[in-house]
Amino acid sequence: MPDIKFDFNNMFSFSVGKAHGVEDSDLEAMSKDVREAEEHLVKIIADSRNRVKLGLEWTQLPLQDKKLIKEIQILGNEISERYDNVISLGIGGSYLGLKAAQDALCPPYYNEFSAVRKGGPRIYFEGNNLDPDTLSVLLEHLVPRKTFVIVISKSGETTEAKAAFMVVEEWLKEHVGKNYGRQIVAITDPESGSLRSKVNAEQEKDEQSFRSLPLLKGVGGRFSELNMGLLHLAIINVDIQEVLDGAKAMGRRCSKEDLTKNPAFLYAVLHNILYRNKGKSLAILMPFSETLKSTADWYVQLLAESLGKKYARKVQVSSGGKEDWDRDPKNIVNVGRTPISCRGTNDLHSIQQNNIEGENNKVITFIRVDKFRQDLKIPGKNDILSGKRYSELIKLAQEATEWALVRESRPNCTIIMPEISPYHWGALLFFFELATAFEGELLEVNAFDQPGVEGYKNYMYFRLNKQGMPAEISQAIKNNPLIKDEKYII
Ligand code: PA5
């Protein structure tokens, strides 16, 4: 199986000039930091307590037990055979990976044509917004008895998923009757959260009801597609083992000490140099593929939540190398490249103008696909396009975009996927996860928490009169109301 390739040439000064490109001396200057970051990551991953406690258990997901995968496959087959529709409820890490998988690994227009789905169920993603329009229409038109519901929430408390589940559960109960719970699988923390309590209570009454797949400890939402996304992969008939094998192979490639042979670490280091030394604070991911656009959206969450941090990480090491990480309140860093997702060739007619002529503050990562599932030949003889294939043109457009960027001294790099197979997609995801974890080490932040997301949640809970909120949070909200001067509401 050909491997994914990584072309970093256009990130170097010999392509885009000294002011905007990496030089060998930059790499040399970072060699000590790189070695320390690598050693630290290796050390944490080697220790199961550290992995779970610090949020790196996702590194073990490619090695999951084949028996478990088989059980998930059986459940997926059962759902596919019995139901016309699946509603998957979840947000953030409980949604974006599934959506990315579906768009990348299923043929386009999956929900529209039964032949494309090979008779499998249509899949609808909900619970990822509080906009009432989409779920309302869906529930007006789906047949409840023919609809299966997967609710995914690690915490079991996230407002969007919780609200949607309450609505959908009521809808099922009303139309299906007392056994409605048999049409539900919940994927949530094995011990805590209101969804877990609900699952436990329902299973006591009927063990066929509210079947549940656990989320592993130490696997944060955005790193969890290879855990919480597996049932969805089984339902859409994607070979789970192939996805895991791709990730495993990428894991092996990215365990090499030699930076020039380790794509995830090299990706992180080059971006880090351009970010810190050359002011490239925007990270644009532009797959030249319609079906990888959602994978780019998934990456936005991965990068933004992992590396966009206010405080530096404070590491405490106890005996036996056990580590605890905390935020260092004395060390405000406000770091993190800002991710933007788009896709070629569509967005060559939108964001690309800014990429080329706007502020030179970005690095663009392209994903090029060597072999598409299908191809189209353009008919006729008298046009420059006649006789050309779409696959040739999209590759040419990507090469042309690289060239245009390099001409304007805009650093970029290209990930070359032989094809969008389950194997290569699994490898791609794992590559980005490892690169992000490594960049977290270089930035010395905790890449596995997301405290910034709490602000809006706390405000909502306060306004919804949630019981048991910490007094200092309630007080901070009371003391700092939004200023709404009528003069500026026009
Ligand atoms: O990466 C994360 O952990 C978060 O973005 C979560 O995925 C997101 O907030 C959804 O959380 P939950 O799965 O608890 O509903």
Query: Does 92 sit in the ligand 1 pocket, CB within 6 Å?
Result: yes
Which pLDDT value is given to residue 441? 98
* 78 in active site: no
Quickly count: other Cβ atoms within 10 Å of residue 348's Cβ.
20
User: For residue 421, what is the DSSP state?
Assistant: -
For residue 301, give the ligand 1 atom closest to its CA: 5
- Structural element, H or E, at residue 312: strand 309-317
CA 265 to ligand 1 centroid distance, Å: 26
Helix axes 132-141, 159-176, angle to 10 degrees: 20
Q: Which residue's CA is minimally distant from atom 15 of ligand 1?
A: 153
For residue 188, give the ligand 1 atom closest to its CA: 13
Query: Does 159 sit in the ligand 1 pocket, CB within 6 Å?
Result: no
Q: Which residue's CA is minimally distant from atom 4 of ligand 1?
A: 221
- Residue 248, token pair as written in the block: 């495993």
pLDDT tens string 180-207:
999 999 999 999 999 999 999 999 999 9
The identity of residue 264, as a single letter, is A
Quickly count: other Cβ atoms within 10 Å of residue 384's Cβ.
7
Tokens 């810190």 locate to 276
CA atoms within 13 A on the CB side of 28: 3
Query: Does 224 sit in the ligand 1 pocket, CB within 6 Å?
Result: no
Query: Does 85 sit in the ligand 1 pocket, CB within 6 Å?
Result: no
Please, which residues have CB within 8 angstroms of residue 407's CB and are 6 or more apart in sequence?
none
CA 155 to ligand 1 centroid distance, Å: 7
Which pLDDT value is given to residue 319? 83
Query: Does 89 sit in the ligand 1 pocket, CB within 6 Å?
Result: no
Domains and CATH numbers, the chain: 5-54+241-443 (3.40.50.10490), 58-240 (3.40.50.10490)
| Beta-bridge partners for 343 | none
pLDDT tens string 235-288:
999 999 999 999 999 999 999 999 999 999 999 999 999 999 999 999 999 999
CA 247/CA 224 separation, integer angstroms: 13
CA 430 to ligand 1 centroid distance, Å: 18
Q: What is this structure's pTM?
A: 0.97
Q: Which residue's CA is minimally distant from atom 2 of ligand 1?
A: 221
Which pLDDT value is given to residue 26? 97
CA 105/CA 96 separation, integer angstroms: 14
- Which among 89, 129, 150, 154 is the best mutation to test ligand 1's pocket, defined by most ligand atoms within 8 Å of the CB? 154
Between the alpha carbon of residue 130 and those of residues 73, 133, 161, 234, 463, the distances in Å are 31, 9, 9, 28, 16
The identity of residue 74, as a single letter, is I
Q: Decide if 230 contacts 98 (C-beta within 8 A).
A: no
Which pLDDT value is given to residue 321? 87
Q: What is the pLDDT along the chain (490 residues), one digit of tens a residue?
A: 899 999 999 999 999 999 999 999 999 999 999 999 999 999 999 999 999 999 999 999 999 999 999 999 999 999 999 999 999 999 999 999 999 999 999 999 999 999 999 999 999 999 999 999 999 999 999 999 999 999 999 999 999 999 999 999 999 999 999 999 999 999 999 999 999 999 999 999 999 999 999 889 999 999 999 999 999 999 999 999 999 999 999 999 999 999 999 999 999 999 999 999 999 999 999 999 999 999 999 999 999 999 999 999 999 999 888 999 999 999 999 999 999 999 999 999 999 999 999 999 999 999 999 999 999 999 999 999 999 999 999 999 999 999 999 999 999 999 999 999 999 999 999 999 999 999 999 999 999 999 999 889 999 999 999 999 999 999 999 999 999 999 999 9
- Which among 158, 160, 196 is the best mutation to test ligand 1's pocket, defined by most ligand atoms within 8 Å of the CB? 158
Query: Which residue in 169, 305, 441, 444 is the catalytic one?
Result: 305
Query: Does 218 sit in the ligand 1 pocket, CB within 6 Å?
Result: no
Q: Return the beta strands (E) in 82-130 as ranges.
A: 85-89, 122-126
User: For residue 3, what is the DSSP state?
Assistant: P
